[in-house]
Amino acid sequence: MKVEKTSLEGVLLVKPELVIDGRGEFFEDLRGSFFETYNESKYKDHDIKIHFVEDDISVSKKNVLRGIHGDDKTWKLVSCVHGKVFFVVVNCNKESSGFGRWESFDLNEENRWKILVPPMYGNGYLALTDKVIFQYKQSSHYNPDGQFRYKWDDPEFGIDWPVENPILSSRDADEKYINTE
């Protein structure tokens, strides 16, 4: 695999490598395809020594927007295993000089990219295809009460989402959205 730094401190882009002989992270043959979603020793080889304790999957239809959520302790390794998403990571650390900076990524079933999101970064995504299956690995167990949350269109961030009227949960649509310190 190839690991690349992004414009956000601590956020990494992980790209699997195609292996022709059928051994490795990804291959295709007449039966279909196979790809390895995680291998702890390969991540350790890249000095990524995070212990993940929970895996989650979300399924969304086109124009569903989820996020922006995060917390102060959880590392996330995310990927889109089916479909295509516009994925956004935002620095939500008010103590950081980079507070409010964000970067977007096109994650999809073809590129099989993963994004490593550190604590104090929020993330969200927009489903761009009729069906999206999105995978999260987390270093802490999900705790909705311990999260900070920002509205998807918070003017403080100015995220350029490629949608005007997304489908939102009541939590994500709430005008009284809570920005937890």
Residues belonging to the active site: 69, 136
Compute the distance between CA of residue 151 and CA of residue 67 in angstroms, rounded to an integer: 7
Residues 39 and 142 sit within 8 Å (Cβ to Cβ): no
Handedness of CA 27, 32, 34, 35 (dihedral sign): positive
Pick from 5, 175, 168, 145: which is nearest to 89 by CA? Answer: 5
Q: How distant, in Å, are the alpha carbons of 8, 75, 143 from that of 146? A: 23, 14, 5
Q: Which residues pair with 15 in a beta bridge?
A: 2
